[in-house]
Amino acid sequence: MIARSVGEMAKVGTERCPLRVAIIGAGPTGFYSADHLMKRSGLVVEIDMYDRLPTPFGLVRGGVAPDHQKIKTVTKAYDRIASKPHFRFFGNVEFGTDVTLELLRDYYHQILYCTGAQTDRDMGIPGEYLGGSHAATEFVAWYNGHPDYRDLKFDLSQERAAVIGVGNVAVDVCRILCRTPEELATSDIADYALEALSNSRVKEVYMIGRRGPAQAAFTNPEARELGEMEDADVFILPEEASLDPLTREYLEKSQDKSIIKKIEILEEFSRRGRSGKSRLLTLRFLASPVELVGNDDGKVVKIRLVKNALHVSGDGTLRPKSTEAFEDLDVGLVFRSVGYRGVALPGVPFHEKWGTINNVEGRVTTVDTNEPVVGEYTAGWIKRGPSGIIGTNKPDALETVNCMMEDLEKGRILEPLHPEVAAVQEMVEQRKPSSVSYEDWLRLDEIEVARGKELGRPRLKFTRVEDMLEALGKK
Ligand code: NAP
């Protein structure tokens, strides 16, 4: 970790001494960062991308809803990035166990963490962890065939379910609960999830927002889609769809077009009656869960809500404030969709409160003094928190790459003992003989697509690491 002198450093990033970068995490941000680095004029860079799974693409594979196939075509751009010279993928190699930070410092000038946000936030209410109450992030990972979550069980024999939160993840979960087996069968949903959801007895789903419709975090196309499901009606109580005076005042001033559109969509839902579809999705607003109530077996049977009113908070935003009015909803299944949270990486400074790697504009910094840690960077959700759409990570990655380039110029980089590409290959082969290359992944991809084709589906995913390795002849 010794910073070289500026004169000596000028050579790094050239044909004679390429800049060696390790990217941890093969999600969208990892690929956008690689792309920004490769496009940097005059820079010769060698990139190794690590992922703990044998499959790349992070939440595009494990998070984006299976009925949103079009969004997943973004991976074509990632394939193009991966096909460039000086790019390698080491899948099935976990940072912190298979390769450690100490070890990577011996091989790279710069290490960039793009590990996303892998867990969920707490709500901090009694009964939160009763049986039948699940983190939405786990349900999402389950139906998307993530190997770590494929064996989870969800009691879909329940007739009434609640989804807490009104972000796009909550919308995804509601849609997946309300879709027909035929609708789901045209997606790349995991085969076991397709079977379980085809036998689901869920008839009523509530999506619960603590603020009003104008403050709902979901985006307009996602809201509109809720009204277009084949066999599920959508409904909002007219009094909950209408605007409170503070929001009305705000909108009159701001004329925010996207919120005005959102209100129109939701008001239209409130005018709809039941059309005879088998399922009903009810959007609730201005209500916060205060407790999940369980039965003697420790299973959730009720969600207790307090009605909220909005008030202007110190920062000028409209926040919920509880009233004295309570309401109980009988539900046997709850999905807590109140946001993702980042997980700390071994040896990397972590901001516990925010659930992000401690950083300034992407430069990893120490927790105590906020001093930059030489050679370490971060981008994406693990840098800024779980916000924005896939494309938001492009400018975010650029900000970090700009810091990396500035530091390279100033000689603030690591001094690896083994800066040769062959040395890394040897090290990884020794430590993780079953690592997966990008060529391996492309073969796996082809097999999944071929398996899906036989069933008339976009792909049939492998959902166990062993099965992936076996298909690649690595077991
Ligand atoms: P999100 O957009 O931050 O939404 C979180 C929701 O949880 C908000 O409605 C929030 O309400 C609510 N919430 C937070 N704490 C709560 C509490 N204690 N009690 C009740 N409600 C609470 O997060 P997300 O849905 O997990 O999505 C993460 C990111 O991924 C977002 O940027 C999202 O747009 C993106 N995403 C995009 C798509 C897509 O483009 N189709 C799909 C999935 C995810 P408040 O607003 O009142 O805090």
pLDDT for the residue numbered 7: 44
Ligand 1: centre distance to CA 170 (Å): 7
Mean pLDDT (the chain) is 96
Ligand 1: centre distance to CA 178 (Å): 19
Ligand 1: centre distance to CA 388 (Å): 10
Which residue's alpha carbon is nearest to atom 16 within ligand 1?
A: 338
How far is residue 395's CA from residue 385's CA, in Å, rounded to a whole number?
15
- Please, are residues 323 and 344 in contact by the beta-carbon 8 Å criterion? no
- Please, are residues 19 and 45 in contact by the beta-carbon 8 Å criterion? yes
Per-residue pLDDT band for 273 (boundaries 50, 70, 90) equals confident
In this prediction, residues 439-452 reach a mean pLDDT of 98
Say whether pLDDT at 145 is over 50.
yes
217 lines ligand 1 (CB under 6 A): yes
pLDDT for the residue numbered 118: 87
Proportion of the chain above pLDDT 70, given as a percent: 98
168 lines ligand 1 (CB under 6 A): yes
Ligand 1: centre distance to CA 419 (Å): 42
How far is residue 56's CA from residue 439's CA, in Å, rounded to a whole number?
12
Look at the pTM and tell me if it is higher than 0.85.
Answer: yes
Which residue's alpha carbon is nearest to atom 38 within ligand 1?
A: 168
Say whether pLDDT at 5 is over 60.
no
Which residue's alpha carbon is nearest to atom 40 within ligand 1?
A: 389
Per-residue pLDDT band for 475 (boundaries 50, 70, 90) equals confident
Say whether pLDDT at 167 is over 70.
yes
Ligand 1: centre distance to CA 338 (Å): 6
**Is the pLDDT higher at 421 or at 362?**
362
58 lines ligand 1 (CB under 6 A): no
Closest CA to 87 of 31, 25, 134: 31
CB atoms within 10 A of CB 100: 14
Which residue's alpha carbon is nearest to atom 2 within ligand 1?
A: 167
How far is residue 205's CA from residue 303's CA, in Å, rounded to a whole number?
13
Chain segment 283-311, per-residue pLDDT in tens: 999 999 999 999 999 999 999 999 999 99
**Chain-centroid distance, C-alpha 458:** 21
Closest CA to 92 of 47, 51, 37, 64: 51
Token pair of 359, please? Answer: 């950083």
387 lines ligand 1 (CB under 6 A): yes
Say whether pLDDT at 1 is over 60.
no
Q: Using the atom order of ligand 1, give the atom closest to the CA of residue 339.
A: 26
Chain segment 324-351, per-residue pLDDT in tens: 999 999 999 999 999 999 999 999 999 9
Proportion of the chain above pLDDT 90, given as a percent: 94
Token pair of 260, please? Answer: 């005005």
- Please, are residues 55 and 444 in contact by the beta-carbon 8 Å criterion? yes
Taking the CA atoms of 357, 360, 361 and 362 in sequence, report the sign of the dihedral they define: negative
Task: Report the amino acid identity of residue 305.
Answer: L
Chain segment 70-114, per-residue pLDDT in tens: 999 999 999 999 999 999 999 999 999 999 999 999 999 999 999
Choice from 389, 390, 392, 393 to test ligand 1 binding pocket (greatest atom count within 8 A of CB): 389
pLDDT for the residue numbered 392: 97
Choice from 210, 215, 304, 310 to test ligand 1 binding pocket (greatest atom count within 8 A of CB): 210
218 lines ligand 1 (CB under 6 A): no
pLDDT for the residue numbered 31: 98
In this prediction, residues 45-69 reach a mean pLDDT of 98
Q: If you compute the radius of gyration of the chain from its CA atoms, what whole number of angstroms results? A: 24
pLDDT for the residue numbered 10: 47
Within 13 Å, how many C-alpha atoms sit on residue 145's CB side?
22
Ligand 1: centre distance to CA 216 (Å): 8
In this prediction, residues 369-387 reach a mean pLDDT of 97
pLDDT for the residue numbered 440: 98
